[in-house]
Amino acid sequence: MMMNVRGYYASLQAMIRNCPFIAHWNMEFEEIDLQVGYLKGMLEFIDGSTLHFIEFVEIYDDSNVERPKYKYHLQSEAGDLITRWDNVPHHRDVSSFPHHKHDKNGVYPSEPADLRSVLDRIVERLEE
């Protein structure tokens, strides 16, 4: 059976619950139809940093989840930007347009991001 947006949401909840580096979290979910949804949430990590995120997702089949709009904003406990990944089409000069990432030094090319890949990067940082 093809995954729908509720199944996608459930898979993210399971991933978050199973991450030992997350101290607190919340996530809102709006099902627009079976294959389209909007997610918004916050993950607080054991070092006090937080990830604020949104995803507008369209699911075509189990291996094709499109994110026409996403933003993953990681900030320190003090509220300072660490990294933000997004696909807002405002940095046309970036080679990976519209996908890019920000840090305190500027804007850089980035592969298309999703919550799983961003969480993997954050966990790597926390394990250092």
Domain ranges of the chain: 5-127
Burial of 58 (0-12, 13-18, 19+ CB in 10 A): middle
**Token representation of residue 14:** 């399971």
Would you state the pLDDT for residue 1?
A: 59
Q: Cβ distance 64 to 83 under 8 Å?
A: no
Quote the pTM value: 0.94
Are 51 and 42 spatial neighbours (Cβ–Cβ below 8 Å)? Answer: yes
Share of the chain above pLDDT 90, in %: 93
Q: Is the pLDDT of residue 62 over 90?
A: no
Residue type, 55: E
What pLDDT, on a 0 to 100 scale, did the predictor assign at position 64? Answer: 86
For the CA atoms of 80, 26, 88, 109, the dihedral, rounded to the nearest 10 degrees, stands at 60
Cβ–Cβ under 8 Å, residues 58 and 78: no
C-alpha 116/C-alpha 112 separation (Å) is: 12
Residue 3 pLDDT > 90, yes or no?
no
Return all residues near 31 (Cβ < 8 A) that are at least 6 apart. 5, 6, 37
State mean pLDDT over 87-115.
Answer: 96
Q: What tens digit of pLDDT does each residue of 13-60 get?
A: 999 999 999 999 999 999 999 999 999 999 999 999 999 999 999 998
